[in-house]
Amino acid sequence: MTTSDPVIQIDIISDIMCPWCIVGFRQLEQALGVTNMGARILWHPFELNPTMPPEGQNLGEHIAEKYGTTPEQSVQNRAQMQRTGQSLGIDFRLTPDSRIVNSFSAHQMLDFALSQGLQHPLKMALFAAHFTDQRDVS
C-alpha cells in the first residue's frame, strides 16, 4: 500500500464475549488483504449481556438458558466454532468449563486505549485472552 492508496474507516460494534465478532473481523481482514484496501478499524462497545454479574457464568449454562440448547448441541456448537476459528487462525479453546463474563470494564479500557492509539491491538489481545487463554477479561 502506498500513501496514495485509499484508506477507509470501518466501524465495528462488538463485544469481546462474541466469538462471531472475531470471526467476522478475521474474514474482513482477509477481504482487505485480497483487495489491498487500507482500513482504519474503530471498535465500538456492545454488551451482549449487560446484566451479567462480574463473576460471569458457565458458557454452556448461559447458552442453554438464553437459546434453549441441549448439552449435546453445545458440544457440537463448540466444535463447529473451533473448526471455523482454526480456518481463520483463531485458536478457540472452548471447554465445558468456559465462562462468559461481564465485559463493561473491558469496554472502558478499550475506550481509553483508543485515546492512546492502542485500541485495535488491545481488542485483539482481549479476544485472545478470553477465547484462547480462558482469562477473565472482566
The pTM for the full model equals: 0.90
**Is it the case that residue 54 has pLDDT exceeding 90?**
no
Domain containing residue 78: CATH number: 3.40.30.10
In the chain, the largest separation of any two C-alpha atoms, in whole Å, equals 53
Model confidence pLDDT, tens digit, residues 65-97? 999 999 889 889 889 999 999 999 999 998 889
Predicted local distance difference test score (pLDDT) of residue 2? 53
Domain membership of residue 2 (yes or no) is: no
Q: What is the DSSP letter of 9?
A: E
- Domain for residue 22, yes or no? yes
CA–CA separation, 131 vs 90, rounded Å? 9
Structural domain that includes position 98: 7-131
Q: Which phi and psi angles does 23 have, rounded to 5°?
A: -60, -50
| Cα dihedral: 30, 101, 52, 107 (round 10) | -60
